[in-house]
Amino acid sequence: MASAQRLLTIFFSALLVALLAAPCALAQEAAPAQDIPDTPATPDTLRVTPVSVVHDDVDNVGTRLVFQIKEILNSSSLFTLSAKDEKKIKLVIKTKQEFPSRPEIGSAYSAVWIFSSNDNVLTHYLASEAGIVTAANVAATAEALAGRTDAVAAQYAYLFE
């Protein structure tokens, strides 16, 4: 009796293994081997996004911030500063002196990224942020805003196709 039960256990175990292995063997037989091309794919980093920076305020620190952002975007291979009527991301920056009696201390800023397909069509909101920039951290804030511009451009790259 124990040997019959043992034989049944071995039989069902072998049957279970065979049933589990059968789909793998069939899948390997059904899919012929494909040659993998030896050409590298074009990296995603080759995108060049047109960007326009809009700023019309006159506070000292805010103007330096916008100038730094334009320098960073202009020197980057990911962006082209554009004033043309084309598909582009507009970075609209508004700045105000934090303390009107001491304009060199810092500025409050807001940055809004919008997509413009051309000047005759309504723009589309993409992202925004606000913060305070001081004379000491203008460069770091400009780099952070340029980095955010790259993230926005990557997220909405399909708009340029």
Is residue 37 in some structural domain? no
What pLDDT score does 146 carry?
Answer: 96
Is residue 83 in a domain? yes
What pLDDT sits at residue 17? Answer: 58
CB 54 within 8 Å of CB 90? yes
Cα(first)–Cα(last) distance of the chain, in Å? 74
Asked if residue 34 belongs to a domain, the reply is no
Res 156: pLDDT: 93
pLDDT along the chain (161 residues), means of 10: 62 59 52 64 70 93 95 93 92 91 87 93 94 94 96 92 83
Q: What's the CATH code of the domain at 147?
A: 3.40.50.10610
Tell me how far apart the alpha carbons of residues 47 and 32 are, in angstroms, rounded to a whole number.
Answer: 36
* Count of the separate structural domains present in the chain: 1
Q: Which of 125, 52, 121, 60 is nearest to 84 (CA)?
A: 52
Asked if residue 24 is part of any domain, the answer here is no
Please report the pLDDT score of residue 47 as a whole number: 79
Q: Does residue 29 form part of some domain? A: no
153 and 127 in contact (C-beta within 8 Å)?
Answer: no
Reported as type and span, the H/E element at residue 28 is helix 2-30
Residue 95, in any domain of the structure: yes
Q: Is 73 within a domain?
A: yes
Structural domain includes residue 6: no
Q: What is the DSSP letter of 133?
A: E
Tell me the residue range of the domain where 107 lies: 48-160
Q: Classify residue 79 as exposed, middle or buried by CB count within 10 Å of its CB (0-12, 13-18, 19+).
A: buried
